[in-house]
Amino acid sequence: MLRECRRSDQNEQLLGQWSGEEAYCEVFDSCPPSQIIYADELEDTAVVTWVEPTASDNSGETVIPVQTQGYPSGSRFSQNYHVIKYTVSDSSGLSSTCTFTFTVQVLECPVLDAPDNGDYVGGQPCQRSYGSSCYFMCNAGYFIDNNVLRCEAQPGSEEALWMGTPPTCTVETCEVPPLDNGMQYVINTTCTEQSQLELGEECEFECGNGFNLHGSEILTCGIDGEWQQQAPVCEVVTCINSDIPKPLHGIKSGCPYDDEKYGTVCRFTCDIGYLPSGSVPRTCLDDGDGNGVWSGGPVSCTGENKVLGIASSLDSRLFYCGRWTCNPLEVPVNGFIESCRLGGEETDVSTKQDYGTTCNVLCNSGYTAQGATSRRCLADEGWDGIAQSCLDLTPPVLNCPPDRVIFALAGQSKAELHWEDWEPVKAIDGSIQITATLVSIDSVPVSGNNRPAFSDEGSHIISYRATDMAGFMATCSFEVEVKVTRCAPLYPPSNGDVTLYLGQGSCEGGAVYGSGCLIKCDKGYIISDGNLTTERYCLRMSDTTTVGYWNGTQPECDAVTCAVPDIMNGHVTGCPPIEAQYQDQCEFECDDGYRSSTTDKVILRSCQANATWGNIELLCDIIVSCPANISLKYGSVTPDICTKPDPVPFDTECNFQCESGFRMYGPYSQICTSDGSWNNQRSVRCEGKYWVYE
C-alpha cells in the first residue's frame, strides 16, 4: 500500500507560529492482499473476486478509489500472474495507490504412461488437468483390469494425483475343453501340456476307436478368450440290430435296441437239440470309415441226430441221468454279477448254476461294458456269449472349487493363501475318488508341492488336473482375486510434513490398510493440541472392503507464539499486543524520557522456535534529564526548578520573560527532550529598548 501526503509552505516567525494552510492527506483504509487462486475442476481459468478497497482523507473530503489497472472483480482470469491497481485523488491533486497481485494456477497430475500391451483410448496422451479422466484400452488378445484413472486433488492442496489402481493388460487365455465320450487330445499338442492357451494357440482333437468326430478337429484361441470354433463331439458308431435277427429255434440276448453301440455283443442260444451255425456271439465293430458293422452274419439253429446223456454197451445198458451245471460266472474287474435266475427264481450268484440259468453282468459306474451283459448256462456246461470286460472310456468328473475373493493382511499389499480352504480337490471316476493335482497358477506350471504362501493384488487363475487309471484327464480352473484396502491420500498440514513409518504405499499416494503415517510440524510450529508429533492409521470398516479411512482428524500446525512482555518505562512496537508468532520481529523501546544503562534505547528482538525472545532483555532504568541552573538577566525563569542546580527531568518546559522596557532575543521557552538536550539551543537575553552603556 502506498500513501502520499503534501504540506503547504510554512514560515517560522519570531513568536513560534506557522503561516499558510494545514496539510491534508488521503489514505487507503483497506487494500486486498496478494494471493494464489486455483482454477476449478476441468478449467484453465478462474473467476477472481475481491472486496473493493476504500480510502479516506483527513480533510473530511469524500474520496472514491478508481481501478486503473487490470480487469474488474468477478472477471475470469487466465493462468498467469496478474496486477490490480487502484488510485484515489482529492480535489487538491494529492493521490495514493493500492496495488495487489494474484496468480491463477491450474492443478495438473503427473504425465501418465499407457500400460504395457495397451494404449490410451483415442491413441493420444490424456489431459492432465484436475478433474479430468484418463481412459485406457488393451491390445487385441489382452484384457484390462481397470480402464480409467481420475485426476483428483484434496481441498486446499497444491498438487493433483491420479486416483485408482494403475491399469494392467493381461493376456486373454482360453480354457482347454474337457474330454467327453471318446474324445482325446492329439499327442504332442499344447492341450496335453497346459490347461490355459493364449491367443493364436491351437488345440487338436481326435476320437478313439468306435467314435466319429463331428466338428472342427482344431480349435484356435481367439482375442476375447473364447475358442474361434465350436468344440467338436465324438459320436459313437452304431450297428443295425435287424442285420442279425433272432434265429428260429433259438434265443437272441444282450442287444435289445434297434441301433446298438460300438462294442455291444449279441449272444445267440439255440434250443435243446439245436446247434448254432458258426460262431455264436456277434460284436458291433467299426469298419474303419466310421460305419458300424457286426462281426458276423445272422445265426441259425439246426437240429442234430444225436442222443445226449445216453451211453450204450452190448454187455449192459446203463442210463446216466443228471443235471447239466456251469461253474460260477467269473466277476469282471471293475464289474459285478447283478443277478442269476432260473425259471423266474433268483439263485446264488457265487455257486454253480443249472443248465438254462441266465446271469446279468454289469460294470461299475464310470466303466463301459465290452462283451455280453447277459449270459446263459448251456448244455455243454459252458456259458454262452463273450466274457464281459469293464473298460474306462470316459474322463473323471472334477469338482472345481468356486471363485473367491481374498483381502490383503494389515500393512501388506499381498494376501495369505489358505490352500486348506479348498484342497484336496476331488474328482469322481465311476465309484472311485481321485485327488486332483495343482497344475498351474496364472498359466505358470507348478511342480510338486510348491504352493506360494502369499499372492499379489489382482486376479489369479488356479488350475487343477485329475487323471484316471486309463489315462483320461479332466481339468478345471477357478479365480482367486486378491484385493487391497487403501486409504485416500493423506496430505501434510501447512507448515508440516507427513511420512510413512509403518506398512506399505505412501501417505500422499495411498497407503494400504494397517499403515501408519507420522505427522510433524516444521521448525517454529507446533501441533494445535500441543504435541510435537501425531500418528494416524489407515483403518477399514469391515474385512471385505477396499475403502479405508484414517483415524482421528487432520491436525494443524500452529506457529509457536511468544508472549509480548510488559516493559517498565518502555513499550513494544511492530507486534500484536498480546503475543507474537515465530520469526516475528518486534522493536523493544524505552519510553520517551528513559534510556537503558546496558543497551541501546531501541533493540530488535525475534520470537524464536522455543517460544522465547532472542537478543538481550531491554532495561529502561535511567531517567533522561537536562542540565538546569538557568538564569536571565533583566528577566525571569519559571518554574523555579529551572533555576536550581539539579538537572530537570524529560519534558520539563522552562519559560522566559523580560522585565518591562526590555526586549527578548531568543526562544520564549525551552523543553527538555528525550535525548537529554534542550529543544532550542539558542541563547536567551533581555536588552533594553534604549540601552545606555556606562
Residues 586 and 610 in one domain: yes
Number of structural domains the chain divides into: 9
Residue-wise burial string across 559-591, b where 16 or more C-beta atoms lie within 10 A, e elsewhere: bbbbebeebebbebeebeeeebebebebebbbb
Neighbours of 108 (CB within 10 A): 16
Hey, what's the cell of 439? 497344475
Question: Which residues are registered as beta bridge partners of 28?
Answer: 55
Q: Which H or E element spans position 106? A: none
Residues 538 and 460 in one domain: no
Residues 506 and 555 in one domain: yes
Whole-angstrom distance, CA of residue 688 vs CA of residue 692:
8
Hey, what's the cell of 578? 498480546
Positions of the chain with pLDDT lower than 50, given as ranges: 1-23, 304-322, 691-694
Give the CATH number of the domain where residue 182 resides: 2.10.70.10
Residue 112 lies in a domain: no
Whole-angstrom distance, CA of residue 350 vs CA of residue 367:
23
pLDDT recorded at residue 303? 59
Hey, what's the cell of 92? 487538491
Question: Which residues are registered as beta bridge partners of 483?
Answer: 407
Residues 290 and 381 in one domain: no
pLDDT recorded at residue 498? 94
Domain end position, chosen among 584, 600, 623: 623
Confirm if 274 and 304 have CB atoms less than 8 A apart: yes
In this structure, what is the dihedral angle of CA atoms 553, 558, 560, 561, given to the nearest 10 degrees? -120
What phi and psi, each to the nearest 5 degrees, are found at residue 643?
-95, -5
SS3 at position 689 = coil
Hey, what's the cell of 293? 458293422
C-alpha 89: how far from chain center:
60
SS3 at position 555 = coil
Concatenated DSSP letters for 113-149?
PPPTTEEETTSSPPP-BTT-EEEEEE-TTEEES--EE
From residue 365, how far is each of 38, 369, 393, 623 by CA, in Å? 76, 10, 11, 121
What is the per-residue pLDDT across 25-54, written as a single tens digit (0 to 9) for each? 668 888 999 888 888 887 889 899 999 999
Residues 25 and 90 in one domain: yes
Residues 203 and 124 in one domain: no
Residue 110 lies in a domain: no
pLDDT recorded at residue 493? 92
Residue 331 lies in a domain: yes
Whole-angstrom distance, CA of residue 671 vs CA of residue 653:
4
Q: Identify residue 591 by its one-letter amino acid code.
A: D
Triad 280, 285, 286: Cα angle to 5°: 160
Residues 226 and 267 in one domain: no
From residue 343, how far is each of 252, 253, 346, 472, 475 by CA, in Å? 17, 16, 8, 42, 49
Give the CATH number of the domain where residue 434 resides: 2.60.40.10
Confirm if 451 and 417 have CB atoms less than 8 A apart: yes
Whole-angstrom distance, CA of residue 294 vs CA of residue 489:
79
Residues 349 and 297 in one domain: no
Report strand pairing: 95-105 vs 35-38.
parallel
Confirm if 257 and 240 have CB atoms less than 8 A apart: no
Concatenated DSSP letters for 316-378?
--EE-----EEPPPPPPTTEEEEEEEETTEEE-TTS-EETT-EEEEEEPTT-EEEB-SEEEB-
Residue 49 lies in a domain: yes
Radius of gyration of the chain (CA): 56
Domain end position, chosen among 394, 425, 451: 394
Q: Which H or E element spans position 456? A: strand 454-456
Whole-angstrom distance, CA of residue 356 vs CA of residue 377:
5
Residues 27 and 84 in one domain: yes
pLDDT recorded at residue 560? 92
Confirm if 257 and 273 have CB atoms less than 8 A apart: no
Cell numbers 534604549 correspond to what residue?
A: 690
Whole-angstrom distance, CA of residue 359 vs CA of residue 350:
11
Give the CATH number of the domain where residue 503 resides: 2.10.70
Residue 491 lies in a domain: no
Share of the chain above pLDDT 70, in %: 91
Characterise 242 by phi-psi region: left (phi > 0), alpha (psi -120 to 50), beta (else).
alpha
Which DSSP category does 615 fall into? S
Triad 586, 590, 592: Cα angle to 5°: 130
Whole-angstrom distance, CA of residue 600 vs CA of residue 69:
45
Residue 333 lies in a domain: yes
Report strand pairing: 570-573 vs 585-590.
antiparallel
pLDDT recorded at residue 18? 40
SS (H, E, C) 497-545: EEEEEECCEECCCEEECCCEEEEEECCCEEECCCCCEEEEEEEECCCCC
Q: Up-side HSE of residue 364: CA atoms within 13 Å toward CB?
A: 12
Residue 313 lies in a domain: no
What is the extent of the structural domain holding 507? 496-559
Residues 9 and 99 in one domain: yes
Comparing CA positions, the residue from 462, 458, 426 lying closest to residue 195 is: 462
SS3 at position 187 = coil
Strands, E, within 221-279: which ranges? 233-236, 238-240, 250-253, 259-261, 265-270, 274-276
Characterise 147 by phi-psi region: left (phi > 0), alpha (psi -120 to 50), beta (else).
alpha
Residues 267 and 353 in one domain: no
Triad 197, 201, 204: Cα angle to 5°: 95
Q: Identify residue 626 by its one-letter amino acid code.
A: C
Triad 347, 349, 351: Cα angle to 5°: 90
Neighbours of 130 (CB within 10 A): 22
Residue 311 lies in a domain: no
Domain end position, chosen among 81, 105, 129: 105
Q: Please report the sign of the dihedral spanned by the C-alpha atoms of residue 319, residue 320, residue 321, residue 324.
A: negative
Residues 15 and 76 in one domain: yes
Comparing CA positions, the residue from 423, 420, 412 lying closest to residue 483 is: 412
